Structure 1
Amino acid sequence: MNTRRKFIKSAGLASAALGLGLPQMACSSTKADPLFKISLAEWSLNKQLFAGKMDHLDFPILTKKVGISAVEYVNQFFMDKAKDKAYLKEMKTRAEGEGVRSVLIMCDSEGMMGAATAEERAQTVENHKKWVEAAKFLGCHSIRVNAYSSVPWSTSKEDFDKSSDLASDGLHSLCEFADDFDINVLIENHGGFSSNGKWLAEMIKKADHPRAGTLPDFGNFRIANVNGKAVSYDSYRGVDELMPRAKGVSLKPKVWDDNGNESPLDYTKMMKLVLAHDFHEYVGIEHGEEGREWESIEAIRIELEKTRTQLE
């Protein structure tokens, strides 16, 4: 139990004892803040959303019905609404009406953060600015962007370093803008160089800005496909490398090893690793089995809650 938790628990015990006029040691403990909180990533419902079977505006309402009180939006489902204040206000009203926290916006299709030229990187930064402003309006703490580079993935050190230099330059520029809005800019391991934990951790350091952070995704350590075989990075090691700058984590119920092998997530092992970095923020579920999306989401929530109880 960390110092903050000990203080909260001790304060709760003392207050209860004094209020009842009992010796402090005789009273039962009060529950501190949870070890970690649970959110839902909108991508979990991507098939329903793309098919028009679900309305983006209903996302917080439906999320609350499966016992989750925080959401992570995906810009693809309101791509033309970033500057539409009436639409954003409706999103905010629906979330707040359900007591649901808006955590972040996952941003795609806005250009390469690690594009080859300064002009292209500047355009990518410009494209993301509206999402920073939307995140601020909605009450989010971050946006998630991608660290894609014009340098094709390879195993050469030259490409490793060059792609990192380009992506960190673009990220730093966006963070400079986001700082004025009190918004963090997070990079998720999302294929290619970014799914190498060492590369991403080093790139974040190169960006050299307190707003630059990570969003480790347990299941996204698949780097590439070479001749039909997966090239991957060990998920547990990768998460450990990315946690020092993490502002959130994304849960998929699968992990990878260094040899292209996929296996089920060990919830206890992974969450012990996450908590070892004094992380007590949102664990975002990002998984939805087609045809039973909500059932599978709820099953993961229950498993996460069970793991949390065991670790408290």
Structure 2
Amino acid sequence: MFTRRDFLRTASVAGAAIAASDLSFAMAAPEKGRFAISLAEWSLHKALFAKQITNLDFPRLAKEEYGVTGLEYVNQFFKDKAKDTAYLSDLKKRAEGYGLKNVLIMIDGEGMLGAPDQAERTRAVENHKPWIDAAKFLGCHAIRVNAASRGEYAEQQKLAADGLRRVGEYGATQGISVIVENHGGLSSNGQWLSGVMKLVGLPGVGTLPDFGNFRVSKDEEYDRYKGVSELIPYAKGVSAKTHDFDAQGNETHTDYKKMLDIVIASKYRGFIGIEYEGSVLSEPDGIKATKALLERHLQGYL
């Protein structure tokens, strides 16, 4: 288990890494206004998995079909391209050609950063490093990771904090933030994840509060408004999750006015990402409905 000596050693390394970076880990700043709207690529996951579109089509669609200004990639859709500079150059050129900001890459499937086994945890840390390099190449400000672990509550916090700290130390050398989404298990417990942030204690490690991902287990759901309130002080991104809408265009699972009031009352400034996961509306219609909902409640802030 992590000892005080280990903590002091890694804290020293982290301090050196941060000092070596000229960046202060600012959030991706909108060109105007306090917030801007980005599109999470997962909103198009059905079309992507069906190979109706590819990751290289994402910038064009985001601009021409949805009129957003930022892109949030998902590594699953270019899994083998983290070190492919030709591919990344093409992707970057397309985004820049449409005047879009590459915001972040969501990372899945690269191992458990809070794994109890130290060797497994180290492999996960190493697996995330190429994606930090890819994010830097694309001009993103962050990668989104998961804080999965196993064991008791406090033990999982310590293990997740260790893995995140080590990824964050490398991110600091590249000027890339490492941000954690509430994404199932204890990470969907706002108190647990905010506690992990306190244990990590690095300026480049933060959160990506997701409005809808507060299912801790089959039988436990954390209060989403409480959870976002606990995570927003560490936020370097915000994920506007939607599933279903009523006839007035309101999301039926989340009170968007209440939720966005929490974001507005915080110090957060940056992109708010559309992430539509519904099945009633098509992906294009769900994305457009989410964008209209955000625009309605963020008047004067965009």
Normalised to the residue count of structure 1, the TM-score between the two structures is: 0.81
> Which protein has greater RCO, CA pairs closer than 8 Å, 6+ apart?
2
In structure 2, stretches of 5+ residues that fail to align are 1-30, 245-250
Identity, in percent, stands at: 50
In the other structure, the counterpart of 2:87 is 87
> Which of these two proteins has the greater Rg computed from alpha carbons?
1
State the 1:280 CA deviation. Answer: 2.1
Output the CA distance in 2 between the equivalents of 1:108 and 1:296.
23
Tell me, yes or no, if structure 1 residue 231 matches structure 2 residue 220. yes
- Please point out which of 239, 258, 282 is paired with 1:250: 239
Aligned length: 264
- Please point out which of 294, 300, 303 is paired with 2:290: 300
Output the CA distance in 2 between the equivalents of 1:196 and 1:52.
35
RMSD: 1.8
Q: Which of 77-86 and 281-290 deviates more?
A: 281-290
Output the CA distance in 1 between the equivalents of 2:252 and 2:217.
17
Output the CA distance in 2 between the equivalents of 1:146 and 1:54.
26
In the other structure, the counterpart of 2:62 is 63
In the other structure, the counterpart of 1:182 is 175
State the 1:210 CA deviation. Answer: 1.1
State the 1:264 CA deviation. Answer: 2.3
Output the CA distance in 2 between the equivalents of 1:296 and 1:192.
27
Runs of 4+ residues deviating >3 angstroms: 288-291
State the 1:289 CA deviation. Answer: 4.0
Q: Which of 281-290 and 178-187 deviates more?
A: 281-290
- Which amino acid counterpart does residue 62 of structure 2 have in structure 1? T
Retained in 1: the 8 A contact 2:38–2:72?
yes
Map 1:1-312 onto structure 2 (within 5 A).
Answer: 33-65=32-64, 66-151=66-151, 159-225=152-218, 230-253=219-242, 263-290=252-279, 292-309=282-299
SS at match of 1:39: strand
Cα distance change of structure 1 residues 103 and 311 upon mapping to structure 2, 3 Å threshold: closer
- Which amino acid counterpart does residue 63 of structure 1 have in structure 2? A
In the other structure, the counterpart of 1:16 is none
Normalised to the residue count of structure 2, the TM-score between the two structures is: 0.84
Retained in 2: the 8 A contact 1:288–1:294?
no
Retained in 2: the 8 A contact 1:112–1:150?
no
Cα distance change of structure 1 residues 311 and 80 upon mapping to structure 2, 3 Å threshold: closer
Output the CA distance in 1 between the equivalents of 2:116 and 2:200.
16
Cα distance change of structure 1 residues 254 and 299 upon mapping to structure 2, 3 Å threshold: closer
State the 1:263 CA deviation. Answer: 5.0
